[in-house]
Every structure is written in C-alpha cells, then in structure tokens.
A and B are shown apart, each in its own frame.
Chain A
C-alpha cells in the first residue's frame, strides 16, 4: 500500500504561489493519497469528533480547571468555563443543573481513544516504512528558510490561488502543520490523557509527575484538545477554499482529478 505505487505527477513542492517556486529546487512528489492514508484519515476523523463531543460532556460535569496535584470546589481554580454544570456540587452561578451524561460520554471517549491510538500507530508505522513522511510531509531543506515561508504566508495573505499542479502538493506551512499535529499534538493529548488514569500512573508515575500533577495534566489535556480542534477548523476551511469536492474525492477515492500519467 505504498503511496509511491499510485499515479504520480511532477510538481514543485515549494509553495502554492508562483513567485516562490523559482527560488527552490523542483522535486518529484506523489500526490495521490494511498488507501491506508485514506482509511486511517476517516477513522481518525470519526474518532476525533466522538472524542470532542464526549470530552465536552465530561468537562461539563466539572467546568473548573486547576494547576498542580489536586483541585476541587474548595480550592481556587486556575480558571472557570462560564457554562452551567451537570453536577449540583459545582457553583457555576447558574440556577440549574444539566442532565448527567458522563456514563456514555466516558465509555465513548475511551473507546474512541483506543481506536484512534491503534489507527494512529498503524498510520505512523506504515508511514515510516513507505516513506510517506519523508516524501509527502518533510519539508525540503531549501524551503525551510524564512524567505520561502514568508512567501507562502504572503501568498495566503494576498489570497493568491496556486496553480492546479502546485495545489496538489503540500507547501512548507502545511507540511509543518501536519507534522506538528501528528508528532507533537497527538502524542501530547495521549500523554496528558493517560496521566489522568490512576491505574496507568501507578505503573508509570513519571507520566504525571513530569506534568506537575493530575490537575495540571487535566488542564493541559484541555488546551491540547483545543489546539487540535483549531487545527481541524483551519484544515476544513482550507479544504473548502481549495475546492471541497475535489479534495473530498481525493481523500475518499484517491482520484485527484488532475491530469495523471500511469507508471
């Protein structure tokens, strides 16, 4: 299931604007999403949506965040979310209590976490073997300069549309964003989640000690989740701007819809 086995075409992988293309060397990239990338992408999408919904439900039962080891309604919070709670114990300032949805939320949260972690492992391991990260996501050295990064940003700011061929490769900012999500945010959200498990930390105490305590882990889990949610919103916005139908077709069927040559 190697990405390189599919149809390929030549494009510049530098940036999505013509002016920057001349500044960097032209390389061959594969553009078609392999079946493994497509399947793991959609499983991850489903799991992430389930994790966001169930995670929000869990937060509603105690919409207060703390730093350090312990925290409860008798201690000073780091901050509070201005929302009502599903528990009468929490002083929210609202005169009512929402229905308790924690049972199914927790079950859905952990089951989705299992599926997305196993899916992610499959994606990362196969990506290392097939060269997916090296070929499709690792930015070329020449593009890792302020000049070419700025060219991408400036292009975005001027709302310049990339040429068809350039649009099917990832520019340096996209590559860095994807790598950041895959190798920084996802590991962090898994770590901070596990650090809240009393059984897991009994076997691996360093997971919570390094974060400064269970409440710190919970607060960090919340912010890393927000960062992932922000990525999702930008990602979907960019898909819409780049052409919703063609991008969806590419991620569902693997067909890019541009002129291709058979290998």
Chain B
C-alpha cells in the first residue's frame, strides 16, 4: 500500500464519518424545527423531506402571487368530482342553511360554525391561481375568512402542530402545518368572483391554500381538527393523498 493510497483511505474514511454524523445532526435539527413531513418513510422519503424542508424554510413568510381582476379566468374550470353523496344532497336541497363547520382537537373552545356565522366575520378576498398537479390552472377571486381568524376564535393550544380538515365526502381529508394554517392567504372560502362558491369549485365551503397544488384545497369542508400528532389519522401518513400515492406536501 503506497503512502498516497493510505492517506486517501484515511481521508475517505474521515469524510464518510463526518458525512454520516452530519446527516444525523441534520436529521435531528430537521425534526426539532418541524421540517420532516409525515410521509417521510419509503423510497421517495428523501425527495419529499428535501422539498418540504427547503420550501418550508424559504416560504414561511412568502405570499402566493396575486393577480389583477382583468386576469381572472373567464370560466373557472369545474373539474370532475364523484357524484355527491346523500348528506351533501340533503344540505344542498336546503340551500346549505344547515351546513356546519365543526372545529375541535387541541383548541380551548371547540365550536361549530354555520355558513351565516362564517360570513358574518370580516370577509377577505384574493385573486390567486389554482394549479392542479396535472398541469392545468385557472385564476379566480376567492372570498372567505382566513383560517387563522377561526383558529384564533377557538383558541389553538401552544403545542398544536397541524390542522387536519375533512370533506363531507368520504375519505377526502388533508392536513397542513401551522405555518400554512396561520398564513394570511389560507382561507375558508365561501365565495368566488363576487358570488357564492359553486359546488363544482368546492362550494359551499372550500379550504383554499394558494401556495400548494390544488389537491390540498379540499372541497366541501365540514370538520377541522387541530393536533400535534398526525399518526392518529388514517394510516398515519398525514392525509388521504399519501395513502393514494401522492405527496402530503404539495408546494411543488
């Protein structure tokens, strides 16, 4: 063994050891600062974690682009949805007067809101783009109440880490971290382009999250749960999307 190759062996060994311990430190730091997504296991866990961690750090205070009224799409695409279930049809027949949004979990004052109650709070609007993971997009004016305002009303507890939200349609639920939940552009949306939000676009109530792809903006919301642990929900991957093979975090 020559001097050069022995030196090479030692430096390679040291570099490998440094690399592995560096990765260990990075992993524990990422865990502590909430940079590890719930679907980090499996063969694509590396990519999911790198994307979530880097975009969470880059976008904690960033705003989705807002457009001018002239850029609003002429026809907001109502993409395919499964036929509505009986509970939805019953509420629709009543003009959604009995639609309720229940909020529970790690909150001081669990509550249930009617649409009229949500509409009585100061409304906000944003002209943002809905981007589907398939590749198509449209721009609309979304009107609603910021989710942070509802969370402040019920009083989220300090250790809360995620908000899980459920559609009235079965097996349709998602979750977001508190950074996204408290973001000023995250809306409980009940209006679009000056009118009520049509059922085809998620009416009467849709959680709108413009900094992530469309599938995180779940339609027909009836239930929010605040939690510090996503393991208790479904298969423990964070939402229905990873159970169907899609990423929990959809900022990309």
Contacts and interface: CB of A to CB of B under 8 A. Distances in A.
A125 to B, nearest CB: 16
- Chain A contact residues (Cβ within 8 angstroms of B): what range? 35 or more
A124 B213 CA distance: 32
Contacts of B44: 104, 107-108, 110-111
Contact of B71 (A61, A69, A72, A203): A69
B177 interface: no
A72 B55 contact: no
Contacts, number: 121
Interface stretch (A170-178, A193-201, A225-233, A237-245): A193-201
Given A199-B55, A201-B65, A202-B65, A72 B251 contact: no
B136 A197 contact: no
A114 B47 contact: yes
A111 B46 contact: yes
B64 A202 contact: yes
A77 B44 CA distance: 33
Contacts of B136: 62, 64, 71-73
Contacts of B211: 198-199, 202
A74 B62 contact: no
Contact of B80 (A59, A72, A89, A198): A89
B129 interface: yes
A111 B47 contact: yes
Nearest to B242: A103
B47 A61 contact: no
A197 B47 contact: no
Interface in B37-52: 44, 46-48, 50-51
A107 B251 contact: no
Contacts of A132: none
Contacts of B62: 199, 202-203
Contact of B137 (A102, A103, A110, A215): A215
A209 to B, nearest CB: 8
Contact of B252 (A61, A87, A197, A218): A197
Contacts of B73: 70, 72, 74-75
A203 B47 contact: no
B75 interface: yes
A107 B48 CA distance: 7
> Chain B's interface: helix, strand, loop or mixed, by majority?
loop
A10 interface: no
A103 B242 CA distance: 9
Nearest to A201: B65
A59 B75 CA distance: 23
Contact of A62 (B71, B134, B138): B134
A200 B50 CA distance: 13
Given A111-B44, A199-B212, A72 B133 contact: no
Nearest to B135: A62
A214 interface: yes
Contacts of A41: none
Given A103-B245, A198-B213, A200-B55, A73 B77 contact: yes
Given A106-B246, A114-B46, A214-B131, A198 B251 contact: yes
Contact of B50 (A71, A72, A114): A114
A88 interface: yes
Interface string B100-136: 0000000000000000000000000000010111111
Nearest to B251: A199
A103 B244 contact: yes
5 contacts: A58-B135, A70-B138, A110-B48, A114-B51, A198-B210
